[in-house]
Structure 1
Amino acid sequence: MRLLTYHFLQCPKTKTFPLLLEPTQVETIETEYNKEFILRMIPRLDWNLVRQVSKQFAFGELPPVAPHNDTTDEETLRLLHKLLLETHIKEGVLKSQDGTIYPIKDGIPNMLITQVNQDE
């Protein structure tokens, strides 16, 4: 699961956002840099969450305000590309605010809500 995907997931049970990400296996898969794509995605992201994840994954400090389409800050855009598109969570869990856990296995988050029958 790319970190970009993580930024669009919410708990299907409670509809809360964001989920807490606890990765156990992370890999980097290089992709071609696409400045236009990054610039189009920025307005759709929760910038505070992007900054938090950047710190969590040791990418460093991002500016307090998201870059705009006319930015010349190529360094920040390349960092966002690496963070959002090249960083993949192979294994781990997503946790909702109510404690529901969604496992990530082989890069795929399982967002299905399973009901446990207490009578069994």
Structure 2
Amino acid sequence: MKINKFILSSIIKKINLIKYPLKTKKSETLNKLNKVVLIVHKSLTKNDLKEVFHFLLPNQIKSINLLNLPKKKRKVRKFKTSLFSNVKRSYKKAYLTLNSNISSLFFFDTLPTVINEE
């Protein structure tokens, strides 16, 4: 398979915008249903993700769903009397539905993970 250098460089830039797979209780149950949850950069679109995963895992991705999550305010107590508020950044989740082959799930386990208990 011959690939143009320009196309390859654009795919590598898009791969770098995939941050990490999300590991929560909900995402672990979705893994059993051949779904993978990824945190991606806000600028990535569905077509960009399709292009990247068509290159990495041909004919393995059934569908892609994206979800933009808004900012959240947190209340942080420094001392007994003072209360500060911080802002958690907004981010984008990508839900990838894989075909029935489970072997592609091992590809996502090699990515660096962040454990987030909700």
TM-score by length of 2: 0.26
* Structure number with bigger Rg: 2
More strand by proportion, 1 or 2?
A: 2
Q: Which has the higher contact order (CA 8 A, sep 6+)?
A: 1
